[in-house]
Structure 1
């Protein structure tokens, strides 16, 4: 495993499940665990995405909510293009389950190299419309899931704070909210 000292000893920031229906999954998690509210973002705009070194079109939607101290994400992919999601859950197969846990790292490129040196190769690198890059490293052989890596930016940490703050003193109403 990469040195936690090298990666800053940062905690798990998010747990994400790949599902066919993000709203249904969010409602079920809320009903079982009281998590939420969930913020949906349909067809997340990306500037570009590369899966295992090849440029791909990557269309996905997510629902984000708070569950105690950690953010929960439910994500689905639209279409059959290769991706870190389809590496674990092949297109058209109907499978769903834990896909990744997210970590914030000091330097994305260094973290990708560090994980790669520990037999957790880069599966996907993408850049969202705001310019934030994120990576999925393939930790399925050792951990059973991917790891998602981000450098914390004001925009990213602000988003996490918004989701966390919405959960404070939440009365349970309006459990699904749309971001776009």
Structure 2
């Protein structure tokens, strides 16, 4: 089997900016790049196409990226699969790994008892998915291929952490 090192840890939160500021104050992580209302061309949750409006804050935490994600619209989602809508509960939601072929890895995870919770495509064609590994790992596993745009984004976040000199730890960005 190929090794799949964790590239990111992600937490489902009520407010991505507040969570990023709190994490920065506690752990020195960041700075954080916040994308609001990330546009998706398509989101299929548990086999059903559904709207998914979410915002995320991305920052570096040591050797790994940390993400804080909030769902902006009501309804079923991989986030609400672990944290019931309206429950007021928040916490670690997923780890992310890079794979050569998202669909092949989804099939491999499903064969091991971790079904696809979400397969989504951004408006630029970038695909990401969640395998529901919560029964065995306590969290979901996000899968995406290391396309140049993703690798460059991870490198930018890591470099920003190295260059950070104590300015505002929150910067707004736009993802397409």
TM, length-normalised to structure 1:
0.95
- Secondary structure, in 3 states, of the residue corresponding to 1:141? helix
Q: How does 1:105-120 map to 2 (within 5 A)?
A: 105-120=99-114
Matching residue of 1:101? 95
- Secondary structure, in 3 states, of the residue corresponding to 2:92? strand
**Cα distance, 1:174 vs. partner?**
1.5
The C-alpha deviation readout for 1:91-147, integer Å capped at 9, x for no partner, is 111110000000000111110011001111100100011111100010111000100
Find 1:70's aligned residue among 64, 67, 87.
64
Matching residue of 1:45? 39
Matching residue of 2:153? 159
Cα separation, 1, equivalents of 2:123 and 2:35: 13
The C-alpha deviation readout for 1:22-71, integer Å capped at 9, x for no partner, is 00100010011100000000000000000000000000000000011100
Matching residue of 2:116? 122
Cα separation, 2, equivalents of 1:29 and 1:95: 17
**Cα distance, 1:19 vs. partner?**
0.3
- Secondary structure, in 3 states, of the residue corresponding to 1:124? strand
Cα separation, 2, equivalents of 1:126 and 1:136: 9
The answer to whether 1:32 aligns with 2:26 is: yes
Matching residue of 1:149? 143
Coordinate RMSD, CA, aligned: 0.8
Matching residue of 2:49? 55
Cα separation, 2, equivalents of 1:169 and 1:145: 31
- Secondary structure, in 3 states, of the residue corresponding to 1:110? helix
